[in-house]
Structures are given as structure tokens and as C-alpha cells.
Structure 1
Amino acid sequence: MQYDFDLPRDRRSLPHSPLKAIVAPRPIGWISAMDKAGRLNLAPYSFFNAVGETMVAFSSTGRKDAMTFAEEGGEFVCSLATWDLRDGMNDSSAPLPRGESEFAFANLETAPSAKVRPPRVAASPAALECRWLQTVPITPLDGGEAKDFLVIGQVVSIYVDERFVADGMVDTAAMHPIMRGGYFDYFHITPDQRFTMRRPKGAGEFTGS
């Protein structure tokens, strides 16, 4: 079976694009940002990942509030979405009017960040504090107007709940992160699903600071 985007929707081999189901599970960037007036926005983005040793990025389809607030305030925070916080994460994706706080709508408490203005989700076990670097419009093949925007930030400080640090390393699986799949699917990471592999001889071990 082939699924071709250049065919009209009613002639494609599947009723919905399989891309999100194949590129999965995907980390969720739970982005909090603050505009110049101090208004908060909180929203989950599943097109999110680390793109360097101290760089992260999320992609916004359309100029949504998380992106524009990050640009205005010059900062944003990525809180870890977990199993215990799944309902709050989902509620924070509601299409609220600009400037209405998703923290309040989803009954989520804020906690102050160490080096940036936007707060993190207080109940989240980890958060990346970022300074906005740039927003890159992604021009499609036909050269038309960009509909997707890549927002890049540099991580300047990281919060981790000390309960999830052992022997100097963060125990990711113990935090029970959730990840996004296709359609309405999510994945739940647990410690029993973890496995370890050492890199080949000469390939090195840990890098970065």
C-alpha cells in the first residue's frame, strides 16, 4: 500500500494520514510561555524534540499562542507530560481565547522557574527552561506560504524532582512519561519496558555537559 499526499483526499488509500502513527511514539513538549503583558499559555506539542546538546524545538501548525508568546517574551518552558498528569495535559490543549490561562482551565498549579519568567507545571517531575532563539517558517515544496513553524530554544536551566535522580543520573522511566502516537493514541513508558545497550567499542559513552 502506498499513501500519497499529492492525491486528492478522496482518492488516497487511507482516510487519515498514517504519518503520525508511524513516527511514534513522540515526546510531548508541554510548552508554557508568557507574553509581554504577563499572560500565560500552556499547550502540549507532539512535534517536539531535542535538536542539540542544549537545544530543543517544537513545531506549530499555524501561529498559535505558545509560539507567539515565546517570541514576545523571549522564553518558554517544556514540562514533562506524565501518566499522572495525562488529563491535565489533554485539557490544556483546549482552544481557549488568547490570554485565557490553560493552567487555570486544566486545574494545574504553576511553580516558578529558576532562570526564565514563564512558570513550569508544578506537579511535573522535570522541566526544561528555555530562551527563544528563532522561529523558522517551513516553506512547502510548492513554494506556497508556510503553514508550519519550527520554534527553537536553548535550554538554560533544568528542573528535576530529586526523587527521580539515582547515582547521578535521571531515571526517566520512573517518571512514567507519556508519548504521542497517531490518531487518539498515547504510549505510557514504565521501568519494566526499559533496556540498556552499550555503544560499540570506540563510539564513546556520554557526551555533553
Structure 2
Amino acid sequence: MDVKVVIFDWDGTLVDSVEHIADSLYQAATELGFPAREREAYRDIIGLGMVEALEKLYPGISRDEMSTIREGYGRYFFAKVTTPQNVFAGMAEVVTDLRAGGRSCSVATGKSRKGLEGALVSSGLGPHFEITRCADEARSKPDPTMLRDILSFYGVQPREAVMVGDTRYDLEMAQRIGMPSIGVEWGVHKKDVLGQYAPHAIVDSVRDLRTVLGL
């Protein structure tokens, strides 16, 4: 692809954290007496901001209840530190090679700024990204505000960038502003879901992602 900027989702795209997020949400909610949801329900909201995720899991939840779940989630989630070993095999090299080839890399994530800042350092990926955007400082996916902020930072048009993500929310976000996207199948959603948002490509291996990106 002839693009100047590659924008990555974090959880489920760069880092193998989907199951840990689902576990942490389940533990935080059920210990407060909220009903357990099917495992897929906890996975399906990954990529959304926490407010939007909890509203989807538990319609009608109050702000106070939401705050209590978020506190519990934080305790469970941050008990495990993201390390370089949690980065999907080959993805650190993808980002390194993109930068070496003169392309810029950034992150658009449903994580909080606090969560992302810690993960950028502990994963070792932080130095590769010139700008990152989180759900608690913009709007939750699939609203494209995060992408617009990143495009503005680089001074490029949507067609000059690509969004790489594992969820419907990543690809819909890109679709809303006419940005090409690449769906990856090693995270939350598979081809049948990702294909609904007209991605440039859907890949099931890092090797195929490298091919699509021209690495």
C-alpha cells in the first residue's frame, strides 16, 4: 500500500490482551453482583471506550455503578503488566520496518490514556509512535475523532493513511472518513464481521500483513 501513515489499534492487534481484558471485566462486574454475560459478549466490546463498553454490556447502568466496575477492572487489569512477550510475534518488527522505510506509525485505541502510557513503556513499543489517541481524550470508536486528530498531526488526507485493527469498531471508524483499513483476524472479530466494513484487506497472519503493507 502506498500510504504515509499506518495507524494501529492496540489490544488484539499489536498486543495479545483480549482474554485478559475479558477476564478483568467479568471479575469486576460479577463481584459486584452484575450478571455474568457470555464470554463472547465481553470480547465483543473490546475496542470501545469503557463507558460505551459497560453501557453495551449492562444497559441502564448508572454512573456510580460504572465507576465502581471501572475501579475493580483497573485492579484486575493492571495486576498484569504488558511485556514485550505480550506483543504478537512479528508485530514489533512490522512497526520497526515501517519506520525504517520512512512511514509514520501511530495508535488509536479504546484504552484509557493511563492504560496506554503504561503499556507503551512496558511493551517496548512506545518509541515507534509519534502520536497516540485514546478513548478518554477523544470519542470512542467507531467515531472517527481519533483518526482525524492523527491525520491533522501529520497533515495528511484519509487516503494517505491506513487503519489496522482487529474489531468492527476499528474498521467502521476508518470507513466513516474514507480511510482504507486492514482487518487482522488474530484478535476479536473474524472475516465475516470485518468484511462488512469494506476493508482494503483482511489478513490472518503477520506475514500476510507485511505483504499488504509492502514490507
Structure with a larger share of its residues in helix? 2
Structure with a larger share of its residues in strand? 1
TM-score bucket of the superposed structures, by smaller chain:
under 0.3
Higher relative contact order (CA 8 A, sep 6+): 2
TM-score normalized by structure 1? 0.26
TM-score normalized by structure 2? 0.25
Between structure 1 and structure 2, the one with the greater Rg is 1
